[in-house]
Amino acid sequence: MGDAPPAQDRILIANAGGISPALLEEIQAKFPSADITYLKLENFTPIPIAEYARRATHIVTFSNLPSVEDVSEVKLIHLFSAGVDHIMTHPIVQETNIPLTSSSGIHGPPIAEWVIMNWLVASRRFVSIYKSQEQHVWGKYGDWMTGVRDQVGRKVGILGYGSIGRQSIILSHNPHLLTKQQNGTVGRVASALGMKVYAHTASPRPTPASRIDRGYIVPGTGDREGTIPVSWHHGTDRASIREFLALGLDHLVIALPLTPQTTHLLGAAEFQLLAEHAPSKPYVTNIARGKIVDQKALVAALQDGVLGGAALDVTDPEPLPAEDPLWDAPNVQISPHISGAGMEYIPRSLDILKENLGRLARGEEILNEYKRGKGY
């Protein structure tokens, strides 16, 4: 008798965004021997038909999960999100040991572009240029000799140097302050503009080996070796954060996960400290979570001129109510939590699943696994 054929992977994909026939074909090409089923469900709607979950060996979703009694065959649940905070209380997380993996690492390129786009829109006064175009006004050259400068030598601090932070720059993780994030792209792009990058992580990274990013990175992006920052800083206490803010930063990028320790981590005192040491009015970018910032204090800092501006892809709450004063704060740019969006998102997320299926088959440690009991 011959050996039994290997069990077929049965991948169930459930999400609210919809997947086109062309994308489904691309997904099937990634997993040529797998049986793939797709369900379109509103966010947080349970997977409704038990038979789907009961026959699945792998589930891919953002927030759609089945009942605990329906996952006896499930070997892994892969999330389209970078974190798992939105499903932390679900019985699948609380009552099972099914490995959970995130899409941490895929967001670096689009978010880095979003960060730098907004920074340049502000620093190059693009809105004023566009308004002049709309009004058919040819401005005077001399009007742009003040208040506009290039990026060479300007200092950008990345609060959370992980995968997003490294392309923009890299985010860090810590069981008390941070959860594992995407690998740094902001730092890479900022460095290419001639900026000096300052990295902050929760735990110390004193050696070259400790600065290596060992998570998933989109090929050709990020700062895997951790060589871009001119200096590294660390600490989970407020004193360490404030020491980082006092480095004389032109631009602060917030790239931390939301935890009880990071909630309202930055408020009036922190914005004032940032401004006191900056060579000019500092700019703040938040691509993490809105609750990390005391939003009322942020509005006041913008209104009072403590900060020169802010770019926010996240707010508190979301969606931001139409009457919220943040909309009308001076020099603020707000987008609806879409900095990581793009056509590459789902294929890149599934690249992580593909890598992990191979690792599971070889008995190796998988990428981006959520560690139950550690919070990241």
Q: What is the CATH classification number for the domain harbouring 69? A: 3.40.50.720
Low-confidence residues of the chain, pLDDT below 50?
Answer: 1-2, 4-5, 168-184
Residue 93 lies inside a defined structural domain of this protein: yes
Q: How far apart are CA 211 and CA 225, in angstroms?
A: 6
**pLDDT for 166:** 58
In a domain, residue 133? The reply is yes
Q: How far apart are CA 101 and CA 25, in angstroms?
A: 23
pLDDT at site 332: 98
Determine the pLDDT at residue 5.
Answer: 46
- Clarify whether residues 67 and 160 are in a common domain: no
**Domain check: are 309 and 186 in the same one?**
yes
**What token pair was written down for 169?**
């720059």
Q: How many CA within 13 A on the CB side of residue 272?
A: 6
Q: Do 172 and 321 fall within a single domain?
A: yes
- pLDDT, tens digit, 9 for 90 and up, residues 159-208: 998 766 655 433 333 322 233 333 346 888 888 899 999 999 999 999 99
- At 27-65, the pLDDT tens digits run 999 999 999 999 999 999 999 888 899 999 999 999 999
Q: Cβ(354)–Cβ(28) under 8 Å?
A: no
Is 21 a domain residue?
yes
Provide the domain limits for residue 53.
10-106+344-362
CA 185 to chain centre: 10
Tell me, yes or no, whether 287 and 231 share the same domain: yes
Alpha-carbon gap, residue 83 to 147, rounded angstroms: 39
Question: Is residue 147 in a domain?
Answer: yes
**Would you state the pLDDT for residue 6?**
54
Q: Note whether 93 and 121 are same-domain residues.
A: no
Same-domain check for residues 128 and 228: yes
Hey, is 225 helix, strand or coil?
A: coil
Structure tokens at 172: 């860090």
Structural domain contains residue 185: yes
- What was the pLDDT predicted at 375? 60
Q: Are 225 and 250 found together in one domain?
A: yes
Give pLDDT, residue 215.
Answer: 77
pLDDT for the residue 174: 31
Tell me what pLDDT residue 187 has.
Answer: 81
Give the contacts of 289 (CB within 8 A, at least 6 positions apart): 256, 257, 258, 262, 314
- Contact between 178 and 172 (Cβ < 8 Å): yes
Decide if 198 contacts 244 (C-beta within 8 A): yes
The pTM assigned to this predicted structure is 0.86
Residues 269, 352, single domain; the answer is: no
34 and 150, same domain (yes or no): no
Same domain, 277 and 197: yes
Residues 355 and 325 in one domain: no
pLDDT of residue 175: 27
**Both 44 and 145 in a single domain?**
no
In a domain, 224, yes or no: yes
d(CA 302, CA 100): 40
Look-up of token digits 């039994």: 4
What 3-state DSSP class applies to 79? strand
CA separation, residue 336 to residues 118, 185, 311, 312, 339 (Å): 14, 21, 11, 9, 8
Nearest CA-CA partner of 70 in 99, 90, 48:
48
Assigned domain for 367 exists: no
- Per-residue burial over 213-244, b = 16 or more CB atoms within 10 Å of its CB, e = otherwise: bebbbbeebbbbebebbeebbbbbeeeebeeb
In total, how many domains does the chain have? 2
Could you tell me if 169 and 148 are in contact, meaning their C-beta atoms sit under 8 angstroms apart?
no
